[in-house]
Amino acid sequence: MSSLRIEGVGKSFGQLEVLRDLELAVEPGEFAAVIGPSGSGKSTLFNLVSGLDRPTTGRVLVEGEPAGVESGKVAYMPQKDLLFPWRTVLDNTALGLEAQGVGKKEARRRADALFADFGLDGFQKAYPSQLSGGMRQRAALLRTVVLERPVLLLDEPFGTLDSLTRTEMQLWLAGMWQRHRWTVVLVTHDIREAVLLADTVHVLSPRPATIVDRVEVPLARPRGADDFTDPDFASTERRVLDALRGTTAVRTP
C-alpha cells in the first residue's frame, strides 16, 4: 500500500482553479520532492495532504484512508521554524506531543531521546535565540519527527538559510534520511536540493497545476557532496529544469 496517493485531485477557490487532475504516489520509505513555478499550488497541495483543506475533485489517501487532521498520519514542517522564544529548545520540541495529549514529562523524554541524533545534545535548556539558523531548523524537524507519523511534509525547510548553511543542512538531511528511512514529501524551489535528496522529483506545471514530469533520480545512496559533480546529477538537474521550462512532454520513466 502506498503511503500517499493523490488521485485525480483538483482544487478551486471560487473561479480560481489551482490544481487540476493531479496524480501522485509515494511509497513507504520514499523521499519524494515536488517542485514547480511560484504560485503553482504547492502549498495548496500540502494543505490537502495534511487535511487542512479538502479537494474539490478527486481524493487524497494516506495509508489508504482519506487525508484528515484527525487521522494523525501526517506531520507537517513549515518553512519557518515557529519555535516559541519563551520556551526552551526541549520544551519546543515536545510541544507537538503535548498538543496530542501526551503528558509533559513523557513528551520531554521522547524528544530528549532524539537530541544527540539531531546534533542538538547539550542545548536542551537553551532558548531559540541562542541557536544558529541551521540548529533551529534541526529543532523544528525534531519536533516534527518525534510525532512518529507515517508521512512527513517538509515545506521548503531550508529556504530561509544562507547558501552555505543550506548546503550543510541538505547534506545533513540526506544522512538522516539514510539512517531513518522516513517517508518524506518535500516542497522546494531548489532543483539541486530536490535531486540531492529525493528518489523521485514531481514537476508541477503553472496554475492550474498538474504533474508534467516524474523524474526518478538515478544516484546511488548514501549521497553526499561528491554527488554534486556526478554526470547523472547534472543530467537529472537538466531534465527537471527542462520540465519546469515546459520543454518536455509528460514522460514515463
Q: Which of 196, 218, 210, 220 is nearest to 243 (CA)?
A: 210
Per-residue confidence (pLDDT) for residue 253, from 0 to 100: 41
Per-residue confidence (pLDDT) for residue 62, from 0 to 100: 93
At residue 237 the predicted structure's pLDDT band, cuts being 50, 70 and 90, is very high
Residues, the chain, total?
A: 253
For residue 102, pLDDT over 70 is answered with yes
How is residue 66 written as a grid cell?
A: 482519506
User: What is the Cα–Cα distance from 133 to 184, expressed in whole angstroms?
Assistant: 22
Per-residue pLDDT of 13-61, as tens digits, reads 999 999 999 999 999 999 999 999 888 888 899 899 988 899 999 999 9
How is residue 146 written as a grid cell?
A: 518525534
Amino acid of residue 129: S
Per-residue confidence (pLDDT) for residue 143, from 0 to 100: 95
User: What is the Cα–Cα distance from 159 to 148, expressed in whole angstroms?
Assistant: 24
User: What is the Cα–Cα distance from 226 to 159, expressed in whole angstroms?
Assistant: 22
Using the 8-state DSSP alphabet, how is residue 205 labeled? P
Q: What is the largest CA-CA distance in the chain?
A: 55
Q: Is the dihedral of CA 156, 72, 52, 95 positive or negative?
A: negative
Per-residue pLDDT of 108-128, as tens digits, reads 999 999 999 999 999 999 999
Per-residue pLDDT of 139-183, as tens digits, reads 999 999 999 999 999 999 888 888 999 999 999 999 999 999 999
User: What is the Cα–Cα distance from 11 to 48, expressed in whole angstroms?
Assistant: 9
Domains, the chain, with CATH or none: 1-73+151-157+180-253 (3.40.50.300), 74-148 (no CATH)
Q: Note the Cα 173 to chain centre separation in Å.
A: 11
How is residue 21 written as a grid cell?
A: 487532475
User: What is the Cα–Cα distance from 151 to 195, expressed in whole angstroms?
Assistant: 20
Q: Is the dihedral of CA 189, 1, 180, 73 positive or negative?
A: positive
User: What is the Cα–Cα distance from 39 to 80, expressed in whole angstroms?
Assistant: 18
